[in-house]
Amino acid sequence: MKKKMIRLDSKLFAHLNAYSQPNCYQPISTLKNGGKATEMNTHNCRVVEPYHIVVLQSLSIRIVHSDHRFSFLQFLTIFMGKYGSLGLILFVIVLYGAWFCELGFSVTVTYDSKALIIDGRKRILQSGSIHYPRATPEMWPDIIENAKEGGLDVIETYVFWNYHEPVKGQYYFEGRFDLVKFVKTVQEAGLFVHLRIGPYACAEWNYGGFPLWLHFIPGIQFRTTNGPYQAEMKLFLAKIVNLMKEENLFASQGGPIIVAQVENEYGNVEWAYGVGGELYVKWAAETALSFNTSVPWVMCAQSDAPDPIINTCNGFYCDDFTPNSPSKPKMWTENYPGWFLAFGYPVPYRPVEDLAFAVARFFEKGGTFQNYYMYFGGTNFGRTAGGPLVATSYDYDAPIDEYGFIRQPKWGHLRDLHMAIKQCEEYLVNADPTQQSLGINLEADVYYKTANDCAAFLANYGSALDANVTFNGKSYFLPAWSVSILPDCKNVVFNTAKVVAQKSVGDATFVENEFSLSNSNWSWYVEKVGVWSNDSFSATTLLEQINTTKDTSDFLWYTTRIEVDEKKDAFLVIESLGHAALIFLNKKVLAFGYGYHDDASFNVSEKISLEKGNNTLDIISMMIGLQNYGPWFDIMGAGLYSVTLADLKNTKKDISSNEWTYQVGTEGESLGLDKTDVANTSLWTHGSELPTNQSLIWYKSTFVAPEGKGPLSLNLASMGKGQAWVNGQSIGRYWSSYLSPSTGCTDNCDYRGSYNAQKCQKKCGQPAQILYHVPRTWVHAGENLVVLHEELGGDPLKISVVTRTGQEVCGHVSEDDPIPVDLWKPNSDSSSQSPQLRLTCDQGWKFSSVHFASFGNPKGDCGGFSQGSCHIDILSIVEQACVGKQKCWVPVSTAKLGNPCPGVVKRLAIEALCTA
């Protein structure tokens, strides 16, 4: 259906505007079918009931609320009284067009030095990265809605070339890769989109998002001034831009896309490409502009981005970033709430106090657009994970966790921060900051509208000492490494170091309900070692793995013969570019070698005993994700490059130039053992004695999914290394036997001071990951098929299915904490209002019980609260407020709770259980 454009004159808008809510916007698509609509990009709109009138003002969509004061007929009377029969016609067109047509309205997006300008309005924008393939389409709406509730205005995503064009000229946009559906889902939620087309993504994604067929085009060189590459890049950019245009998804067409990105972090590697790199940047910019998207283009981490392309910042902190032109706004495209996970490494996390500090400092210093990379990380299903050795979980310690659950207190603390910054928007976009020194490592940045009307940020950027400062004649307490936000230059509505948002008890993603598969009927298939089919081939050299397999499989067999005149001992030395290799001598396991994420190369040196005559050497070389980052990353190799024998006298023999026989992939892959249609064939062996701790073996069983609607997880702690499938869907690679170093972790990382990816880590001495996400829509009632390809050895009898049926939540708020940000209003007396402790259950659960409630001076923290010397029993008050509800809040007020110890600043602590 083509979009329709309705324009109503300004007099009608002026008349109707008296009844509308200011700054309340909603995309028209959300108003169809009589559904309720809420605000877009603001936090103060009322819920709109099924009777609405939708009008267009300054090319924006405005919702006029019917309210209890104005009936449907009264609104009709307004139209009729003002415009007679024309009013009736307009009313019918607008109302029914809104509900039954897919209307589109042109929105202009430009920029100046202060902000992106959307429809003539300068905007402060909070954004979050959500990658559509790292979740299922069924998950998208809830994730996006939680992002919106968290205060985001924009959803940012990469576009993944290798899965959209798996074969040159053949395109795929279905299932998890339905880009159009994802963008429309964001639009339906009332949010904008930043589309990072690239087409290079990095993203810890296989080959950085490039299709491997690109590598084999004669004469090609990636990401530089190279004709074959530039031709393919331009074709794919055009494909995505035209697809978005065909679906009317750019802002100028009434769509949600307000920003697009070409290339990605090229400035980090441009030096390696010399003059060709400099010319390539200019070409990429010119090419992007030639598509006439009518929205701004950005290049992140690209200090030489040519006008009018906006260069943006990526990093843990971007307050010191300055665009390369005074006409460009200060934008932050990647702010990391944690870091990605790699096999063999501890789990990184980032304290929310530091993350909030970084965001507040950015806006304090003139920032206008900030994006969390990631806001929801999700899962690297199948073989999508990049390399080397990037784990299947892409959780990223994000505000929404891998399974789609809200992570507290990160989500709630950032939501409050976003609301506080939004209170300052009109000041930030219309003025430059006036900086005042308040002492050593202490400063104020003030944004004036008039001499007596301003917003301020008070910062203590020292990492050691708390401070009391005087600002405008009033004293303020600033914890070390914190920023206080004063939307009226008087009242602190938010401090980055004071976390009053609720917390989750414990560290587990699931309140574990495990269903063991030990009693399931298991079957197995043992693979042949070495060459297993007639499509093998030979060469008198060691072949590079990626060029040989073309990434059709993680595996490449290298097989040769070693002939000796007599039985003897020797040393076998194997050198590999990576990533791992399992070595067999005379069909028996000899050794296993592997690298790690920062250096995937490795050597294996083993003493061996050779039999007289022919000895077979079989090596299965394993990939764990193609390289995704770095200069010339596309030509980084993998696999064996040297094999030598040395006798006990250290006389070496290089057997790298022996005749080697090669087999791409494993026997089980060729048989399709992961597929559901092979599950009941005679290929599988059944028996009472299941072989365990055996290499190169496939396992198959079934399980009945636990009841409920929430996601599931397979606990694969008992397995070694391999890949798992549920009902034919790959849930990714696992490597439970690869333990992280035993030192370097802390459960209580000090948020003060600059953060890096190694500063805060947990789960030292443990696998990087043991729980593997199974989306609920991938299972069904009755028996579900689980298949594992175990490469090293494990025990499938100890596998379990895990689900989450509840969560422990808690809160801890003091009398002297600020009131909730959404309760603060300009020119209001906040001292007359009390702080509140607010709790919310996730995923539609409700509070079933309260485990702890105390007002006074309770001790401890979440999961370990106890009564202090000052205590009043408020359990019944809290139960009445919370039990049976999805959300509840309790005022931190002696008037409501009593006063057990006058003259003492009291705290309220609550711990409660949410269940279905």
Residues labelled catalytic: 265, 334
Rounded to the nearest 5 percent, the helix, strand and coil shares of the chain are 20, 35, 45
Coil, strand or helix at 372: strand
Structure tokens at 586: 């005379």
Give residue 368's Cα distance to chain centre. Answer: 21
**840: β partners:** 887
Q: Which of 226, 253, 482, 230 is nearest to 364 (CA)?
A: 482
Q: What one-character-per-residue DSSP string does 209-265 give? A: G--GGGGGSTT--TTSS-HHHHHHHHHHHHHHHHHHHHTT-BGGGT-SEEEEEES-S
| C-alpha R_g of the chain | 30
- What secondary structure letter does DSSP report for 413? H
Q: At what angle do helices 85-100 and 72-83 cross, to 10 degrees?
A: 130
Residue 742, classified by CB atoms within 10 Å of its CB into exposed (0-12), middle (13-18) or buried (19+), is: exposed
Which two structure tokens, joined as six digits, stand for 348? 């990184």
Distances (CA, A) of 227 to 135, 275, 299, 636, 689: 36, 15, 21, 21, 60
| 837 within 8 A of 908, measured Cβ to Cβ | yes
Burial 144-183 (b: 16+ CB within 10 A, else e): bbbbbebbbbbbbbbbbbbbbbeeeeeeeeeebbbbebbb
Other Cβ atoms within 10 Å of 686 Cβ, number: 11
Contacts of residue 771, Cβ cutoff 8 Å, sequence gap at least 6: 393, 509, 510, 713, 714, 715, 716, 802
List the beta strands (DSSP E) in 396-452: 434-439, 442-450
Peptide bond into 579 cis (omega under 30): yes
Task: Report the Cα 289 to chain-centroid distance in Å.
Answer: 28
- Provide the token pair at 805: 């049926």
Quick one: 69 exposed, middle or buried, by C-beta within 10 A (0-12, 13-18, 19+)?
exposed
Side-chain-facing half-sphere of 157: CA atoms under 13 Å: 28
